[in-house]
Chain A
Amino acid sequence: MEEYRIRVRIFIGIIFVVIGILGLRLGQLQLLDQDDFTAESRNNAIRENRVIPARGSVIDRNGVLMVSNQPSYNILFTPRYFDEEKIPLVANLLEVPDSVVVQKLKEARAWSGFRPSRSFTGVSFGVFSRVQENQYRLSGVTYEIVEKRSYPTSANASHALGYIREVSGEHLGRLEEQYPERLYRQGDLVGQTGVERRYENYLRGIPGSAFKLVNVHGREIKSYQDGAEDHSPEGGYTMHLHMDSRVQALAESLFVNKRGGAVAIDPNTGGIIALVSKPDFAPEYFSSRLDSATAAYLFQSNEKPLLNRATTNLMPPGSTWKPFMSLMALQEGLIRPGQTVRCGGGHPLGRGRFFSCMGVHGPLTVESAIQHSCNTFFFEMMYRTDIETFNRYAHLFGFGERAPTDIGEQAPGLIPDSAYFNRFAGEGKWGPGWTLSLGIGQGNMGVSPLQLARYVAAVGNRGTLYPPHLVAQLVNPETGTVTYPDLPTPERMPIEPQYFDMVKEGMRRVMEAGTGRLAQIPGIPSGGKTGTAQSPHGRDDSVFIMFAPWDNPQIALAVQCENAGFGGDCAAPIASLMAELYLKGEIPDSPAKTIRMRRALSARSEPLSD
């Protein structure tokens, strides 16, 4: 009987051991490894339906819609659910060879097996509707309707606005790290250039998600946890630009047959009214698949339409440099107000050949030197100073450096200093003979249209250098919260306002009785200066700077036409027409309009020689 009791105890012990083993195993699965299995079950059964928010629209300074959205259709593959036997059917529906589907599936799998990848974007409505009709028998194939960018105005503004494009792998990694709350994914469209890139964070918004419980056959059966984890999309900020789309469109149309850049700035804010770079491209190109001809034009042609010439095209400023020289000379005391310099047809240092003037101007004050664009006068000013002072003043006006702005691509330009000449000519082997031509804006220097516009704006407003910028404000469409671009405070230059008045007087005379005569705006006095930059690549570059109205400038412009000759021929009429449209809202018919139009349209850049 005693043995029987032992057997009972052993048997009860075995029951405890068996139940204990099972209990420990359950503890391991449910308590220790819970997270792994939760992930596994979520991957299985929860499908995320993503709602891409409307990307922020772009509005110009007059409230004209420049960039908005229109529906576009994408086909998504989820490799985990994809039935490989359906590849021919899918390829047939999408009108592509089987191999393309196989390739897309491979790419999708490389990114994630469980999350839907945008394998075909921007498909036609016909393809979309066929996929939609057949979706019930295509597991792992889903679709989405997203908004694509549309550009309702006739202005391209391609270099200012930039374009959006599917994010690249490396870029995606950066964005995910930088803005985790924006929920970036493979296949998302992100800004690649211009303000689209610069303000990507604001324009994007936050994608919404709806989580659905999916059964073993891939059917959605209900919302997961009654939608507790769902969140609705948040639209992107509406972007208000300083740009005037009419002025922009006009300038683009006037630039026909020309290469170059034009920048118009509000001298009282630094807001960019127009930013033209030609040749350009229509941003719509990037809203759908690029055809090969367009791609060749964009990426391979020597016209380089993607290049932002308005901010990166460097050329000597030519005579548009003379107002700058005047301001430096006056502030440095190289010449006093009213004092004259005599022009006898050239600078003595040159002995006739190199440093000659266009004419024999006689005694000239600063104002008349600007009016007549006298080279002798400005050679002399350069002769009276040194290269370091020159360099310092150029930097005061923002030359030789990148402007603090929301435009991404910029070239700093070249303003030489003694170190430059030491390197360029050899230490001690250079003298005034090397530097004098800088006084008339020729030689070893390079400035961009943006820099010129910023400088002429500062001349017009008598000495405040504003950071040029495209974006006025960003408005949250739901809350109405307004965000302003983060810009440094404008700098007041250490130059007496009265000197600006003298220079402006000279520039007024240029327009009324000088080289800018044919570019006057009827009824609005203005100040301007033509320039003709010697180009190493063929014909001279035509340059013009301008501000208007003269007494209270509202717009300052710089226009640069590559290899288009004299500054008054090409650049001046374009700038003048832009200013007139901006100031008057229209360009009334007049003989002055006809003359300027004809001159602007007939000018052309010497074709590139490949």
Chain B
Amino acid sequence: MRAWYRNLDYITLFAWIGLVTVGLTAIYSTTHGPASEFLLDSVRRNFERQFMWFGISAGGILVCLLLPVRFFQKMAFPAYLFTLALLVATLLIGREVNGAKSWLYIGGFGLQVSELAKVGTVLAVAWLLSNRRPNSSNVRYGLMGVGLLLIPGVLILLQNDTGTALVFFALVPIMLFWSGLPLTTVVLLVSPAIAGYFAIVYMPVAILFSVGFTLWMYLDTKDYRVTALAAMFTGGVVAVASFALAKVLQPHQIARIVSFTNPEAAEFRSGVGYHLVQSKAAIGSGGLTGKGFMEGTQTQGAYIPEQSTDFVFSVIGEEFGFMGAMVILLLFAILLIRLIVLGTQVKHPFGSMVAAGAVGVYLIHVFINIGMVTGLLPVIGIPLPFLSYGGSALLANSAMLGIALNLHMRRDDFSIYGY
């Protein structure tokens, strides 16, 4: 008899270890450098705590690998409901940290419920879509899936944690894409976001984009309704954005939105642009090879706020330079693509949907986080998976990875159930 782990995909596991190790290195640098004596007590033990969470997460992956496939299928929906209940509980009795009420304390032990909700939601959506009856309408299942995503998304929005809520909303087009919705529809759903982005960064491009996109939709579908929808989505967003920027929003709100395009400007650099100025200075000054471990002046001088959590990437960019940053991107590319490939190897849709969901969550985080610290996107506070300090997130992300790996490892077990 061959060992139970014979199908385990080690490449993914190594990518995971690599990412967590780099994250731990960066966190070590922020807390054990020459400036450590000036740190706040609350962050001083970050490295040790994260190292502990690394161990817990490794255990979590192991547990996920040991459980049978059926367990996850059976537990998918109950887990989802459980996390919803936790979210509601957080809204009622949670603790507010940095303006967001996203922490639930159980006997002195803090838990960021929204991170767990990602796992539960991915499992539930995968379960829903894989249980689709043959010949039933794609659209109906698609809409149900959207509902599964929107409920926790709205709850988290109510917690005032916009960044994390955004992840759930961004999962909608990805999930619909995997559920078989036509590509055009998915693109149509994403187009307002792109148009809105351009409207903030550079208006002429936004107008060009909405015109071009509408034209493309027409040529692609020859459908007047779709074309009208495209024009409405893109042009409408551009119009609303420009109207809002000009008439509705207060100057400080506009500053918050547009400052990322030019944080160095005198009116932003010590205010809303401060995080970005410091983060860009750290990353940019890293150059090709970086300033060296524990040698980053921005990092050691603690110029970047939250440098072990949301801005951990700027530490890597400064101390390990472009090459270090490329290693991170390469590890993420390996992890994400490998997971997609693993998903395709699982013949049962539940396995491939979980893999795709996990990839979706990771990809959104990576894009928003690195886009944010490099000044491509507004500062939206979400962490970099596996690297940022934060136990709940590391455990949740690792567990999701463990489940995806397990479903792949035990892919032959699915055949019993089949469709």
Contacts and interface: CB of A to CB of B under 8 A. Distances in A.
Interface in B324-348: 325-326, 329, 332-333, 336-337, 340, 344
A224 B292 CA distance: 13
Nearest to A34: B287
B329 A37 contact: no
A36 B284 contact: yes
Contacts of B329: 19, 22-23, 26
Count chain A CB atoms within 10 A of each CB in B277, B283, B284, B340 and give the residue with the most.
B284
Interface in A2-48: 3-4, 7-8, 10-12, 14-16, 18-19, 21-23, 25-27, 29-31, 33-34, 36-38, 40-42, 44-46
Contact of B301 (A33, A36, A213): A213
A221 interface: yes
A18 B329 CA distance: 10
A42 B281 CA distance: 9
A3 B180 CA distance: 9
Interface in B353-377: 356, 359, 363, 366-367, 370-371, 374-376
Contacts of A37: 280-285
Contact of A30 (B288, B336, B356, B376): B288
Interface string A43-67: 0111000000000000000000000
Nearest to A225: B295
B92 interface: no
A460 to B, nearest CB: 67
Nearest to B270: A80
Contacts of B284: 29-30, 33-34, 36-38, 40-41
B178 A30 contact: no
A216 interface: yes
A40 B282 CA distance: 9
A456 B2 CA distance: 117
A44 B287 contact: no
Interface in B256-314: 264, 277-278, 280-288, 295, 297-298, 300-303
B374 A25 contact: yes
B333 A217 contact: no
Contact of B281 (A18, A19, A40): A40
B34 interface: yes
A221 B301 CA distance: 8
Count chain A CB atoms within 10 A of each CB in B277, B281, B340, B370 and give the residue with the most.
B281
Given A18-B367, A22-B366, A41 B282 contact: yes
Given A30-B321, A44-B301, A221-B300, A16 B280 contact: no
B376 A219 contact: no
Contacts of A213: 34, 297, 300-301
Nearest to B269: A40
A130 interface: no
A475 interface: no
B370 A22 contact: yes
A519 B325 CA distance: 90
A8 B337 CA distance: 10
B333 A22 contact: no
A15 B288 contact: no
Nearest to B322: A30
A215 B35 contact: yes
B374 A34 contact: no
B376 A44 contact: no
A380 to B, nearest CB: 83
Contacts of A537: none
Nearest to A29: B284
A172 interface: no
Count chain B CB atoms within 10 A of each CB in A26, A27, A40, A46 and give the residue with the most.
A26
Contacts of A36: 284
A445 interface: no
B285 A34 contact: yes
A146 interface: no
B183 interface: yes
A214 B281 contact: no
B283 A29 contact: yes
A213 B300 CA distance: 8
A65 B302 CA distance: 51
Contacts of A8: 340, 344
A221 B34 contact: yes
A44 B283 contact: no
Interface residues on A, range: 35 or more
A15 B366 CA distance: 10
A235 to B, nearest CB: 31
Contacts of B178: 7, 11
A226 to B, nearest CB: 10
Contacts of B370: 22, 25-26
Nearest to A217: B38
B337 A44 contact: no
A219 to B, nearest CB: 6
A231 interface: no
B218 interface: no
A486 B120 CA distance: 87
A136 to B, nearest CB: 13
A46 B297 contact: yes
A222 interface: yes
Contacts of B51: none
Interface string B313-324: 000011001100
Nearest to A33: B284
A215 B300 contact: yes
A224 B301 CA distance: 11
A15 B333 contact: yes
B316 to A, nearest CB: 10
Contacts of A23: 326, 329
Interface in B118-145: none
B175 to A, nearest CB: 12
A344 to B, nearest CB: 90
A224 B300 CA distance: 11
A27 B287 CA distance: 9
B239 to A, nearest CB: 26
A21 B285 CA distance: 20
Contacts of A15: 333, 336-337, 340, 359, 363
A15 to B, nearest CB: 5
A225 B363 CA distance: 37
B414 interface: no
B318 to A, nearest CB: 8
A30 B277 CA distance: 14
Contact of A11 (B283, B288, B356): B356
A29 B295 CA distance: 19
B38 A219 contact: yes
Contacts of A31: 287-288, 322
B363 A21 contact: no
A34 B178 CA distance: 40
Interface string A207-218: 000000111110
B18 to A, nearest CB: 15
B285 A40 contact: yes
Nearest to A215: B301
A19 B35 contact: no
B169 interface: no
Contact of B298 (A14, A18, A44, A219): A44
Contact of A16 (B38, B333, B376): B333
Nearest to A20: B329
Contact of A215 (B180, B302, B375): B302
Contacts of B371: 21-22, 25
Contacts of A221: 34-35, 38, 300-301
A10 B177 CA distance: 10
15 contacts: A7-B178, A8-B344, A10-B177, A11-B356, A11-B359, A26-B283, A29-B283, A30-B286, A30-B287, A40-B285, A41-B318, A215-B35, A215-B300, A216-B301, A221-B300
Given A11-B356, A26-B322, A41-B297, 6 more contacts: A15-B337, A18-B366, A26-B370, A29-B374, A45-B300, A221-B301
Nearest 10 pairs between A and B by C-beta? Answer: A37-B284, A45-B297, A41-B285, A40-B281, A30-B322, A215-B301, A45-B301, A38-B285, A29-B284, A41-B281
